[in-house]
């Protein structure tokens, strides 16, 4: 008989209810430009008028396991987060143009990775081995990328390494999945 226990995840961040968030956010927006002493005085007045909200929020947080002082948590959120939170959305960053590697180099990487996985070589060691064995192909690809793209030599070397390790990860997962399917015939196949 399989016995499983209920595992309760540890909560590291206790979040306010939507109603409390809205009220705290509104207070912070109204008092955004107050001096610290004035902000604190306004908070004391506001908290007295919000007894029901504080009681409800205290119950909500305690039920979820929060053991701290709820009013203090609310004040710190208003003073240090909501008051300083920008209302403007940051401008969208322009995406960099994707730089692809040649199909020949990718094929060479895949073949090397296949051998490395078969021999149980770690990804870092495998990449080091690849840079030695495929030096001619990497140098040719480096020249092509330097001529056709606005990338530095370091950017290109980072691209080689990242591409190799990503492909290693993908191939190793495929290999693990195929082993799992072979050892567990009851496991449904993904389509």
Q: Are 72 and 108 in a shared domain?
A: no
Residue 8 lies in a domain: no
13 inside domain: no
Question: Rounded to 5 degrees, what are φ and ψ at 6?
Answer: -75, 125
Domain identity same for 147 and 111: yes
Tell me if 191 is assigned to some domain: no
Is position 1 within any domain?
no
Nearest partner of 100 among 154, 141, 143, judged by Cα: 141
* Of 127, 16, 131, residue with least CA distance to 78: 16
Same-domain check for residues 134 and 65: no
Same-domain status, 76 and 128: no
Domain range spanning residue 122? 103-183
pLDDT for the residue numbered 176: 65
Do 61 and 13 touch, CB atoms closer than 8 A? Answer: no
User: Is 146 contained in some domain?
Assistant: yes
| Residue 125, Cβ density class (10 Å: 0-12 exposed, 13-18 middle, ≥19 buried) | exposed
How many domains is the chain built from? 2
Rounded to two decimals, the pTM is 0.47
Instruction: Please report whether residue 60 resides in a domain.
Output: yes
Residue 111 located in a structural domain: yes
What is the residue-level pLDDT of the chain in tens, covering all 191 positions? Answer: 455 555 555 666 778 889 999 999 999 989 988 999 999 999 999 999 999 999 999 999 888 888 889 899 999 999 988 888 877 777 888 887 888 899 999 999 999 999 998 888 888 999 999 999 999 999 999 999 888 877 889 999 999 999 999 999 888 887 666 665 555 555 555 44
Cα–Cα dist 109/102, whole Å? 11
């Amino acid at each position: 008989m399989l016995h499983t226990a209920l595992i309760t995840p540890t909560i590291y961040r206790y979040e306010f209810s939507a109603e409390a968030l809205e009220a705290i956010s509104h207070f912070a927006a109204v008092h955004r430009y107050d001096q610290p002493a004035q902000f604190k005085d306004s908070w004391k007045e506001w908290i007295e008028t919000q007894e029901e909200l504080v009681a409800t929020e205290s119950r909500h947080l305690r039920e979820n396991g929060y053991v701290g002082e709820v009013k203090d948590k609310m004040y710190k959120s208003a003073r240090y987060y909501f008051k300083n939170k920008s209302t403007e959305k940051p401008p969208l960053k322009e995406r960099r143009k994707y730089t692809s590697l040649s199909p020949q180099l990718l094929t060479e990487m895949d073949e090397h990775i296949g051998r490395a996985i078969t021999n149980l070589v770690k990804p870092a060691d495998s990449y080091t081995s690849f840079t030695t064995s495929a030096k001619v192909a990497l140098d040719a690809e480096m020249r092509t990328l330097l001529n056709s793209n606005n990338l530095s030599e370091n950017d290109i070397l980072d691209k080689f390494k990242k591409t190799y390790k990503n492909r290693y990860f993908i191939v190793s997962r495929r290999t693990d999945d195929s082993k799992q399917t072979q050892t567990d015939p009851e496991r449904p196949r993904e389509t």
